Amino acid sequence: MNLEAEQTYFMQQALVEAKKAYLINEVPIGAVVVHDGKIVGRGHNLREWLEDATVHAELVAIQEACRTLNSWRLVDCDLYVTIEPCLMCSGAIINSRISRVFYGAPDLKAGAVNSLYQTLTDSRLNHQVEVFSGLYADKSAQLMKDFFKAARKKRKSVK
Ligand SMILES: [Zn+2]
């Protein structure tokens, strides 16, 4: 696979994870961690299911990658995620020393990579991450729109 095909493939896999979340009524965000051309961690948002505010897609994928590689250091790992990471996940990305982050659509209300804060490229921190965005942005954002639209409808029908 050439580089572009590889990146497209891994972002598709992040979308597969996001759709898993969608199907169980979780905010549809998915992520994969890639090392040496292989997926070593994957995850989707499970906040409602586990009733835990911290189980975002990125954290699930990072935790699995740490277990797979038997290390908290995810050096030379890439993270693919459908939506721009929040402050908490950006912190985990920095702490796990991930090299590159690819995200799909921006999150204008919570994004901590470009939208509200630029944590991953802040030179005051001891680790910086290369950031790429826009791959499958439309599909990633559409999934979120569909989800919230359906959720609003459900709420209305309950009333
Ligand atoms: Zn997050």
pLDDT, tens digit, for every residue of 74-130? 999 999 999 999 999 999 999 999 999 999 999 999 999 999 999 999 999 999 999
Q: Is 58 a known active-site residue?
A: yes
82, containing H or E segment: strand 77-83
Average pLDDT over residues 4-30: 96
Catalytic residue selected from 58, 64, 84, 130: 58
**pLDDT band per the 50, 70, 90 thresholds, residue 157:** confident
pLDDT (0 to 100) of residue 159? 63
- State pLDDT tens for residues 30-84: 999 999 999 999 999 999 999 999 999 999 999 999 999 999 999 999 999 999 9
Model confidence, pTM: 0.95
Q: How far apart are CA 64 and CA 60, in angstroms?
A: 6
Ligand 1 mean position to 155 CA, how many Å?
25
Ligand 1 mean position to 159 CA, how many Å?
31
The token duo for 19 is 């759709």
The answer to whether the CB of 26 falls within 8 A of the CB of 15 is no
Ligand 1 mean position to 105 CA, how many Å?
14
The answer on pLDDT for 1 being more than 90 is: no
Ligand 1 mean position to 72 CA, how many Å?
18
Ligand 1 mean position to 50 CA, how many Å?
15
